[in-house]
Amino acid sequence: MQKVYLDHASTTPVDPRVQEKMNLYLSKEYGNPSAIYEIGRKAREAVDNARETVANIFGGAADEIIFTGSGTESDNLAILGVARGYGRDSKFKHIITSKVEHHAALRAVEHLEKKEGFKADYLKPDQYGTVNPNQVATAITEETVLISLIFANNEIGTINPIHEIGKVIAKKKKEWKRGPTEPPFFHTDACQASEYLDLDVKKLGVDLMTINGSKVYGPKGVGALYRRRGIKLEPLVFGGGQEFKFRSGTENVSGIVGLAEALKIASKDREKESLRVSALRDRLIKGIEENIPRVVLNGHPTERLPNNVNMSILDIEGEAMLLYLDAKGIAASTGSACDSSSLEPSHVILGIGRPYEHAHASMRFTLGRGTTKKDIDYLLEVFPEIVLMLRKISPMRS
């Protein structure tokens, strides 16, 4: 049976070139970067070199890169760290986000609302999941401490106009005569974008940016946060003061080295791989629309990630489709991998104004470096038969 992996938004395999770089620091150069003897100095040098690599890709400085344990931790450090750093004893108690953010961001904002006295506006995106810069301009106030908006949506693949939103925020700061280390600040979660989109923070106009390893053919258990120099962050983890005192704990040297190498490879191959994968994505969308009736594409038709296909296959539960696809050797998803154990409908599909039936029937196919035309054609061969069979027995059938 053919095996087809179409869940790259959930996680990616470690690139062999990345693994080769990591192996040295898992076995031979295993020292603690805080140690002053030779094996520790070599580990420190590896972390410093990785930090420089990531900084160069982001268009920032090395001391603006904080290594973390995940994208979720980076989101939390950005949101909770800035809010607490500026808003505890001041007027800066307002946060702007959207209804379709990753739960790592949403849950952090909700905590600040419920437990720490902050107020939040959850912007409603348009039918494609796009946040309009004018919405941000309307919502922002002189008490806003942070705007946190995802770069490319993890479920439906829609790419937000981050650069234009950044210009809106910069204009407001200029009107209020505020400097770069004064609120409001702009944070974006770029975890899904890191394989395919330009991560230059100056072009984007962001103050903080989240990425992680598992979405870019790097290791799991490592992430990074870009923080513009001078912005105050209250740490989430206390201890020995590693990562400029923002994230204590012995550094995951092999993971950090792997993350930097993965980002370097992605940056080098981005344009070529985006063209290749987007052609396969469009082939899959066209094939589903031509061979399966009653389907709806979720997300923007053009301003979307090259590898993302999210469709509601109406009259069927997404979980049932997953099980039958798995029996055919095809791995896919019904939405965010972080919520894969939940039977709740996708908050993203609901957030763009679609009914519960569309949310329960959504399927996410996310392509990757190993995806071939043969894989797409195999899915298009077996998927219509699965849908036809399930619709015959589905209680959702109208």
Please tell me the chain's helix, strand, coil percentages from 3-state DSSP, rounded to the nearest 5. 45, 15, 40
Express each pLDDT in 99-109 by its tens digit. 999 999 999 99
CB 201 within 8 A of CB 60: yes
Question: What is the pLDDT of the chain when averaged over all its residues?
Answer: 96
Express each pLDDT in 248-291 by its tens digit. 999 999 999 999 999 999 999 999 999 999 999 999 999 999 99
Give the C-alpha separation, 178 to 170, whole Å.
9
Architecture of domain 4-12+270-393: Alpha-Beta Complex (3.90)
| Catalytic choice (236, 237, 331, 338) | 338
Our CA angle for 294, 297, 303, nearest 5°, is 165
| DSSP symbols for 54-113 | HHHHHTS-GGGEEEES-HHHHHHHHHHHHHHHHHTTSS--EEEEETTS-HHHHHHHHHHH
Residues 6+ apart with CB under 8 A from 150: 98, 100, 101, 102, 105, 160, 188, 189, 192
Give mean pLDDT, residues 138-142: 98
Our CA angle for 32, 36, 39, nearest 5°, is 55
Residue 147: beta bridge partners? 96, 186
pLDDT of residue 394: 78
Residue 168: pLDDT above 60? yes
Percentage of the chain beyond pLDDT 70 is 97
CA 356 to chain centroid, in Å, comes to 24
The tokens for 234 are 């209250």
pLDDT band per the 50, 70, 90 thresholds, residue 140: very high
Give the C-alpha separation, 250 to 35, whole Å.
10
Name the strand (E) or helix (H) holding 363: strand 362-366
Alpha carbons within 13 angstroms on the beta-carbon side of residue 198 total: 11
Q: Delimit the domains of the chain by residue range.
A: 4-12+270-393, 16-265
CB 111 within 8 A of CB 76: no
Our CA angle for 154, 158, 160, nearest 5°, is 105
Residue 355 dihedral angles phi and psi, to the nearest 5°: -75, 165
Our CA angle for 263, 265, 268, nearest 5°, is 105
Annotation marks residue 191 as catalytic: no
Residue 340: pLDDT above 80? no
Domains 4-12+270-393 and 16-265 share a fold: no
Give the C-alpha separation, 52 to 45, whole Å.
11
pLDDT of residue 342: 57
Cα–Cα distances in Å, from 94 out to 82, 84, 88, 146, 269?
11, 12, 11, 7, 39
Express each pLDDT in 213-259 by its tens digit. 999 999 999 999 999 999 999 999 999 999 999 999 999 999 999 99
Domain 16-265 has CATH 3.90.1150.10: no
pLDDT of residue 169: 98
Q: Look-up: residue for tokens 């979980």? A: 319
The tokens for 74 are 């980076």
Residue 338 gets which letter from DSSP? G
Residue 396: pLDDT above 90? no
Residue 378: pLDDT above 70? yes
Residue 304 gets which letter from DSSP? B
Q: Hey, how many other C-beta atoms are within 10 angstroms of the C-beta on 259?
A: 29
Q: Is 310 helix (H, G, I), strand (E, B) or coil?
A: strand
